[in-house]
Amino acid sequence: QVQLQQSGPGLVKPSETLSLTCAVSGGSITNDYWNWIRQPPGKGLEWLGFFYYSGSNRYNPSLQSRITMSVDSARNQFSLRLSSVTAADAAVYYCARSSGGWHKFDFWGQGTLVTVSS
């Protein structure tokens, strides 16, 4: 059973970089696709992108210029960095797995509420 444990600060200042990490247990980071999805409070879900170990990342074009996803295979974890944040980036951020090249999300992290405020 794959489990995803998220970590990272819940408060980011405007114009700074949001950084979150998702540790994977029960599975290998070198398999499958590792996604980030966010949900502004009281709103719907937005897929941000995925990291694939082969290097074939794919990002949502709406965030393309600000987003980076990476992996630490030694720690079996992957990360999200979102630069130049604004209030519009305040949301619960989730990491999630998709597999087989079919991007339905079967395992999710617990979520991290990120507030953007000075």
Binding positions for other proteins, rule: CB under 8 A: 44-47, 58, 60-62, 94, 96, 98, 102-106, 108-111
Between 78 and 94, name the residue whose CB sits nearer to other proteins: 94
Alpha carbon distances (Å) from 5 to 20, 71, 86, 88, 118:
11, 14, 25, 24, 27
Per-residue DSSP letters for 68-94? EEEEETTTTEEEEEE-S--GGG-EEEE
- State the minimum distance, in angstroms, from the CB of residue 98 to other proteins: 8
- Count the helices and strands in the chain (H runs, E runs): 0, 11
Q: Which residue has the tokens 């405020």?
A: 117
- State the minimum distance, in angstroms, from the CB of residue 118 to other proteins: 27
- State the minimum distance, in angstroms, from the CB of residue 64 to other proteins: 10
- State the minimum distance, in angstroms, from the CB of residue 74 to other proteins: 26
Between 14 and 113, name the residue whose CB sits nearer to other proteins: 113
Between 16 and 27, name the residue whose CB sits nearer to other proteins: 27
Residue 15 backbone zone (phi > 0: left; psi -120 to 50: alpha; other: beta): left
Between 7 and 73, name the residue whose CB sits nearer to other proteins: 7
